[in-house]
A and B are shown apart, each in its own frame.
Chain A
Amino acid sequence: DIQMTQSPSSLSASVGDRVTITCRASQTISTYLNWYQQKPGKAPKLLIYTASSLQSGVPSRFSGSGSGTDFTLTITSLQPEDFATYYCQQSYITPYTFGQGTKLEIK
């Protein structure tokens, strides 16, 4: 199975900050990398697919980059509603493994 490793596991930031979350795959996955946002008690929400494509309806302050094994999710100008847990996921091959999550908290 492909292992997905996110860092950091948690992050404190303030409204207006720019934050970056990284995700590393244990083997190359081309650009088959997705990012999800999850708020407590809710289902995950797709933000970014195929590494850098913004899902419809997602604000442009979210962006993704990377290919191969190393990927990043960047949020510019954090808004109060962005404080949540973020997961990366590879969809290169089943099992479609997830990273362990990054909890973004208000500083």
Chain B
Amino acid sequence: QVQLVQSGAEVKKPGASVKVSCKASGYTFSSHYMHWVRQAPGQGLEWVGTMNPSGGSTRHAQKFQGRVTMTRDTSTSTVYMELSSLRSEDTAVYYCARVGGDIQAFDYWGQGTLVTVSS
């Protein structure tokens, strides 16, 4: 069965960086784009970016320009999202989500990783 398992909660100080992992299993890792979505406390869903695990190409929302880096390790079927220069507004639950094979939608999601930015 498809599973996306994310790393645990993080507490960071403003200006620091955080790296969240998402380990995929139960399907062919390179065949499905992976996306990152975040949700600030009590707020809606915000798209962060996407990666093609096959070639490693990425795209991200303009607001994260220069601050977000998405990578992958094909040997462990894991994708990573690193966000730098953290500020309090980055406090959120970060989700990884897989795009379905024949559908342009997020059919499986990780359990979420809470990132708290606080001095």
Contact = CB atoms under 8 A, between A and B. Distances in A.
B61 A91 contact: no
B104 A50 contact: yes
B82 interface: no
A34 B45 contact: no
B50 A94 contact: yes
A100 B43 CA distance: 8
B27 interface: no
Interface stretch (B7-15, B72-80, B83-91, B109-117): B109-117
Contact of A49 (B37, B103, B112): B103
Q: Which of B50, B104, B111 has the most CB of A within 10 A?
A: B104
Q: Is the interface of A mostly helix, strand, loop or mixed?
A: loop
B107 to A, nearest CB: 5
Contacts, number: 63
A98 B44 contact: yes
Given A94-B50, A98-B46, A43 B110 contact: yes
Interface string B30-50: 000001010000001111001
For this complex, into which size category does the number of interface residues on chain A fall?
20 to 34
Contacts of B45: 36, 38, 44, 87, 89, 98, 101
A44 to B, nearest CB: 6
A91 B105 contact: yes
A14 interface: no
Nearest to B100: A49
Nearest to A100: B44
A27 interface: no
Interface string A62-84: 00000000000000000000000
B47 A32 contact: no
B59 interface: yes
A11 B93 CA distance: 25
Given A44-B97, A46-B107, 11 more contacts: A32-B104, A38-B45, A43-B110, A44-B109, A49-B100, A91-B104, A91-B105, A94-B50, A98-B44, A98-B46, A99-B44
Interface of A: 1, 32, 34, 36, 38, 43-46, 49-50, 53, 55, 87, 89, 91, 94-101
